[in-house]
Amino acid sequence: MNPTLDLLQPYPFEKLRALLAGVTPPAAIKPIPLSIGEPKHPSPAFVAEALTANLDQLAVYPTTLGIVELREAIASWAGQRFGVPADWLDPARHVLPVTGTREALFSFTQAVVDRSKRGLVLSPNPFYQIYEGAALLAGAEPHYLPCLADKGFNPDFDSVPDEIWQRCQLLFLCSPGNPTGALLPVATLKKLIALADRHDFVIAADECYSELYFDEASPPPGLLTACAELGRSDFARCVVFHSLSKRSNLPGMRSGFVAGDAAILKRFLLYRTYHGCAMPVQVQKASAVAWRDEAHVRENRELYRQKFAAVLDILQGSLEVSLPDGGFYLWAKTPGDDEAFARDLFAHEHVTVVPGSYLSREVAGVNPGAGRIRMALVAPLAECVEAAERIRRFCQG
């Protein structure tokens, strides 16, 4: 067996199950999980109709490159959404459909990392754990950049020494962040592109929460925005990852895309051809329909706005928490140990949250997730309100 498997840590939800094992919550109170970030809003009916209308494609082998219809829909959406000039994103060269961003983030790392060098993969801390596992299994060393409150929950990139940048092969970004919800400003993205040019590393921007924001007049920028403003029409060293899971409430479709540097994507396509992860044609056709529609995405954002407003109003004065820049998580500060808080909340109120320390790594004696919990506001409004009321009761008790 691959000995690197022994380096992998249990997933946060495995740790959470172990923490709550043996704890018996009140049987009279229904459980409310705020732990897993699985969208619960209804999936768009028109997407399901497109999927079933193309079931005859079950008899067709899909190609790894994907159908032209989907790649054109993706290029059109990404260009309009992030202000990229119309002729820059070539659907044949700058776009690849993928079976969800989790699969793509992992496989992309395997394709990019040069195992012959003692390379680093940099990521925010706390982070989506696939970044760490992908780095380890690619033969690289993870390097964690703390995301602390005094820096707006973004990494302090200016404090990273040159010797770290020099060893960096891949930099993971997540904006809006999981779990913090923090956005990376365009100025920061431009600075990182300059660093990538200077030290020859690739930027992988995980933007799967990019369509969950609060101001309809100000969609958050992305790495493609920075490329467009820099006149960087080749998107050199820049690759973005997007998904329909959160944007369109379609986690079960396993549908997303990567876009950016054509030279990198050409090599990544070669890897994926051997990897065997082509998206079924009927899913591709349904995905194209989803990327071409924005009405359901605006409705989705409104549902989240209602939940954030209601929950934050209830928790005010009971728990230190504020509205994030985007995403559907609350990153709340606990009055004491985060594990104890999560365990006792479950024991008393049958509400499940994730200890922040499970989502991050201790570096130099500091775990940036310690003393915090992540709450996913994915349940229906009434359940989120009830959960907030229980949390308030627990905090005040």
Compute the average pLDDT of residues 64-93: 97
Give pTM, 2 decimals. Answer: 0.97
Domain presence at residue 2? no
199-210, pLDDT tens digit by residue?
Answer: 999 999 999 999
Same-domain pairing of 80 and 154: yes
CA-to-CA dists, residue 297 to 217, 301, 332, angstroms? 14, 6, 26
Please name which of 294, 247, 221, 245 lies closest in space to residue 98, comparing C-alpha atoms.
Answer: 245
Q: Give the mean pLDDT of 239-260.
A: 98
pLDDT (tens digit, 9 = 90+) per residue, 269-280? Answer: 999 999 999 999
- 266 plus 386 within the same structural domain: no
Provide the token pair at 153: 């929950």
CA distance 141 to 159: 19
Residue 194 lies in a domain: yes
Q: What is the pLDDT of residues 321-378, one digit of tens each?
A: 999 999 999 999 999 999 999 999 999 999 999 999 999 999 999 999 999 999 999 9
Task: Give the model's confidence band at 397: pLDDT under 50 very low, under 70 low, under 90 confident, else very high.
Answer: confident
What confidence score (pLDDT) does residue 345 get? 98
The boundaries of the domain holding residue 337 are 8-42+296-396
8 Å CB contact between 12 and 338: no
Mean pLDDT of the chain: 97
Residue 276, Cβ neighbours under 10 Å: how many? 7
Indicate whether 303 and 346 sit together in one domain: yes
233 has a pLDDT exceeding 90: yes
Identify the CATH number of the domain in which residue 237 sits: 3.40.640.10
Q: For 5-31, what is the mean pLDDT?
A: 96
Q: Is residue 1 part of a domain?
A: no
Which residue, 257, 292, 327, sits at the end of a domain? 292
> Domain ends where: 260, 292, 324?
292
User: Do 25 and 109 have their domain in common?
Assistant: no
CATH of the domain at 36: 3.90.1150.10
Domain assignment of residue 238, yes or no: yes
| Same structural domain, 350 and 219 | no
My answer on whether 104 and 233 are in the same domain is yes
Say whether both 287 and 333 belong to one domain.
no
Question: Is 65 in the same domain as 28?
Answer: no
Number of domains in the chain: 2
Indicate whether 33 and 55 sit together in one domain. Answer: no
Phi, psi torsion values for 126, nearest 5 degrees: -70, 170
Please indicate, yes or no, whether residues 54 and 195 belong to a single structural domain of this protein. Answer: yes
Give the sheet arrangement for strand 329-333, strand by strand. 329-333, 372-376, 354-355
Tell me what the mean pLDDT of segment 27-39 comes to. 96
Shared domain for 116 and 23, answered yes or no, is: no
The reply to whether 84 and 186 lie within a common domain is: yes
Out of 277, 292, 307, pick the residue that ends a domain.
292
Structure tokens at 114: 């040069």
Query: Is residue 3 one of the residues assigned to a domain?
Result: no
**Does 265 map to a domain?**
yes
On whether the CB atoms of residues 272 and 107 are closer than 8 A, the answer is: yes
Question: Which alpha helices (H) appear in the chain, and where do they start and end?
Answer: 12-20, 45-53, 68-82, 101-112, 130-137, 162-167, 186-199, 223-230, 244-247, 262-275, 281-291, 295-315, 338-349, 381-396
Cα separation, 91 vs 71, in Å, equals 5
Q: How confident is the model at residue 302 (pLDDT cuts 50, 70, 90)?
A: very high
